[in-house]
Amino acid sequence: MSDQDSVQDVDVFKNVFKFYKSRNKIIDLSDVIDFNEVDNTRHHDKISTVNLKDNMDKVISPEDTMKPICEWEAYNVSACPGFIFIKNPFTPAGQRYWIQQCLRYYPCKPNISNLDAHVAPNSIDNMWTRSSYVDTHQNNSSKDLIDRLRWVTLGYHHNWDTKVYSESMRTEFPPNLSRLSKAVATATGHDKFEAQAAIVNFYHMHSSLSGHTDHSEIHMEEPIISFSFGQSAIFLLGGSTKAVPPVPIILRSGDVAVMAGASRSAYHAVPRILPTDNCHVADLYHDCTAADEAFGKYIASARININVRQVLPPGQKFMSSGDGSATT
Ligand SMILES: O=C(O)CCC(=O)C(=O)O
Ligand SMILES: [Fe+2]
């Protein structure tokens, strides 16, 4: 293989990313796996149904936000071993509950967000109630603070520079999100999963997230559990190198992606946010109180993703001094 060949191989993930990110043309979605159309013959041979564990009466429906597990539909993607897609297992009120948690509560202290570097904590604590989504009489011409929110970290706070977690950058993981993640983990066969760190991403219509792997966690045997709310996304799931052509998948509001097994350390990206093409999100806030409708206005042009991870090996409650340096 010549040098040129190997460079081209390395760029496969990036080329596919650029293809879906490009705004210069009408995007061709024919290769994108859409689990809303599982009978679509084009992609039928690329996926298979997963049988979930329906033995979890105690943990199912955390905060009463999910449908009974017997109604969940879950799929594998043959090219991505270990990956499980669960088609929106939430009730409409359940989705509204999690969207509210992400906008109203998770950005507040002691959690960390991209806004911390710019504004005082109490401005963040009140930013939802003071936003023009809620206070419609507000004639504040400056952009809402909430529109500048890009990420929040929970539990062990992701260090964007060093990519190393530390005990000194740890706060309580939200118990409700821990129960939700445990329910999904248990249903997909990971009943020892402990939610210890999460990133909540806030995407706007032109946002994207480039190809990366998530490998800061000391223990990589447990899955990443990823929840999507609001506008849809094209999610690219590749392999262990950027030479592996990624599989494009549509993630819609309520969908859950579980990156387990080999897919836990696979390259992945979000090249594009797509306006919801059906009643998915509009329906959520149909006939709601004004307080709820405010969340509907935000989510009409935004996507929220919560991805939850276990950091420590089973049974270990804290990081020991050598743990941080064990990761790269
Ligand atoms: O937004 C998504 O679906 C993926 C987010 C992600 O991969 C990350 O935050 O590491
Ligand atoms: Fe990621």
**Per-residue pLDDT tens for 47-74?**
999 989 876 655 556 678 999 888 999 9
pLDDT confidence of residue 326: 41
Q: Which of 51-60, 160-169, 192-201 has the lowest mean pLDDT?
A: 51-60
The whole-angstrom separation of Cα 307 and Cα 151 is 11
Looking at ligand 1, which residue's alpha carbon is closest to its atom 2? Answer: 305
pLDDT confidence of residue 328: 35
C-beta neighbour count of 226 within 10 angstroms? 23
pLDDT confidence of residue 58: 52
pLDDT above 90 for 269: yes
pLDDT band at residue 267 under the 50/70/90 scheme = very high
pLDDT confidence of residue 78: 94
Question: How far away, in angstroms, is 134 Cα from ligand 2 center?
Answer: 31
pLDDT confidence of residue 287: 83
pLDDT confidence of residue 128: 95
- pLDDT (mean) for 174-179: 96
* Share above pLDDT 90 across residues of the chain, in percent, rounded to a whole number: 76
pLDDT band at residue 327 under the 50/70/90 scheme = very low
- pLDDT (mean) for 216-238: 97
- pLDDT (mean) for 196-213: 97
Specify the CATH number for 9-326; select among 2.60.120.590, 1.10.287.3510, 3.40.50.1370, 3.40.430.10. 2.60.120.590
pLDDT confidence of residue 155: 98
Question: Cβ neighbours of residue 242 under 8 Å, at least 6 residues apart?
Answer: 10, 11, 12, 13, 14, 211, 267
Looking at ligand 1, which residue's alpha carbon is closest to its atom 3? Answer: 305
pLDDT confidence of residue 20: 97
Ligand 1 near 214 CB (within 6 A): yes
Pocket test for ligand 1, best of 114, 158, 199, 227 (most atoms within 8 A of CB): 199
Torsional class of 189: left (φ above 0), alpha (ψ -120 to 50), beta (otherwise): left
pLDDT confidence of residue 234: 98
pLDDT above 80 for 142: no
Question: How far away, in angstroms, is 4 Cα from ligand 1 center?
Answer: 31
Q: Which atom of ligand 1 is nearest to the CA of 233?
A: 3
Pocket test for ligand 1, best of 83, 217, 235, 268 (most atoms within 8 A of CB): 268
Q: What 3-state DSSP class applies to 11?
A: coil
DSSP code for 116: G
ipTM above 0.95, yes or no: yes
pLDDT above 60 for 325: no
pLDDT confidence of residue 10: 72
pLDDT band at residue 25 under the 50/70/90 scheme = confident
The whole-angstrom separation of Cα 327 and Cα 99 is 32
Question: How far away, in angstroms, is 268 Cα from ligand 1 center?
Answer: 8
Question: How far away, in angstroms, is 289 Cα from ligand 1 center?
Answer: 31
Closest CA to 90 of 229, 204, 296: 229
Residue 285 near residue 96 (C-beta atoms within 8 A): yes
Alpha helix segments (H runs only) across the chain: 3-10, 12-21, 41-44, 92-100, 121-125, 175-187, 280-284, 290-299
Respond yes or no on whether the N-terminal peptide bond of residue 313 is cis (omega within 30° of 0). no
